Structure 1
């Protein structure tokens, strides 16, 4: 995922929350924490969508410390719609954080 787009998304969420008294250090830490939580949720959602017959191959990649590029290629070739999953996860994250239903 594009880090600039991710940072903008997180900053928009923080701005929408309308915190009045965040100093720059606290805001930066909040941005990092939210970014890490969102990326974890995206990773979990993508892995959860991985077809059952692809899990052993994925575990093999992890066991041999495959590069990030190899892992991404494996997931892309598995038929998982990562763009859709990422978008849905981001929207759900935003709704939960802002308390919007």
Structure 2
């Protein structure tokens, strides 16, 4: 069972998932705090190259299965043209409507 993106609880996370699924890099970047950081499978990554490789150039798409922590923690089936489909966990740290950090990895 999936959760419709429009039903996600946190408005910033909802906008981020919407941007990912629309392959809208500009909209996603507009949600990031100036000094935003991220990690993948527990290792900090260089944010912009990671976004381009794993999401935008490979047409990433999220189907959210569950949310917790007020909508800032997601379990999703993530698909891209590089890796295919995988079950992933996402945690977003949001401050003043901007994403300051997100962490993702296999769930």
Q: Which TM-score tier does this pair reach, normalised by the shorter chain?
A: under 0.3
Q: Larger % of helix: which?
A: 1
Q: Larger % of strand: which?
A: 2
Q: Whose radius of gyration is greater, 1 or 2?
A: 1
Q: Name the TM-score, length of structure 2 as normaliser.
A: 0.23
The structure with higher relative contact order (CA 8 Å, sep 6+) is 1
